[in-house]
Structure 1
């Protein structure tokens, strides 16, 4: 499961097709992003929402990286402590196009039959 989770983040970094990214998810996937600086109300997403969000992200971000600091596997869950850095394709607040934003993630990725069935993300963004 840890290898799948790492490959999943590498696929996002590589800006793969939406179909390739969707291959990591169960049809019944649920992603919860808890309130943060970019999404103050938080979000709950299904597979369709994840595909749409991934495509939207391609227009907002020039690139992104996930630097995994620590990882744990507990039963069917991979827990990652990750530093996320993104180069912007659009201006955001005081950050111009080409500038970077950074966040510190705690991600809980649950698997069923080798696919992501549930993901919870706690994001802590640096000021922007």
Structure 2
């Protein structure tokens, strides 16, 4: 049996997010007791904590706001235990207007995501999202 690779798991997770995955297609990457924390940023004004159900609802809602999205890992680190950090450039093609951007425009952000794993699934995810001006 091949050794579990956190980097490959995160790469596959981001690929699923790029395809706007929802439901079971997305939840396969996530521990049933996942906790995602998104720290304040230009879109989320206060610290927000989500469980699995809220994350899946967010993925559904994202399909109404975005025509598509992509994630490019520009830096990656992991420890010998259960943690990993991915620095990611996110690009989203808008389906709705946001700020000065119109449908079809691209929004960009620089993400630092901290992951913790349990039972070979993402158990904790902390998002530090920095959006370019919009």
TM norm structure 2: 0.93
Out of 55, 58, 61, the residue aligned to residue 56 of structure 1 is 61
Q: CA deviation at 1:105?
A: 0.5
Q: Secondary structure at the match of 1:59?
A: helix
Structure 1 residues not aligned, in runs of 5+ = none
CA RMSD of aligned residues (A): 0.8
Please state if 1:127 is matched with 2:127: no
Q: Residues 29-108 of structure 1 correspond to what in structure 2 (within 5 A)?
A: 29-74=34-79, 75-108=81-114
Q: Secondary structure at the match of 1:8?
A: helix
Structure 2 residues not aligned, in runs of 5+ = 1-5
Q: CA deviation at 1:15?
A: 2.0
**Residue of structure 1 in register with 2:28 after alignment:** 23
- Count of aligned pairs: 128
Q: Secondary structure at the match of 2:10?
A: helix
**Residue of structure 2 in register with 1:112 after alignment:** 118
Q: CA deviation at 1:18?
A: 1.9
TM norm structure 1: 0.97
Q: CA deviation at 1:13?
A: 0.4
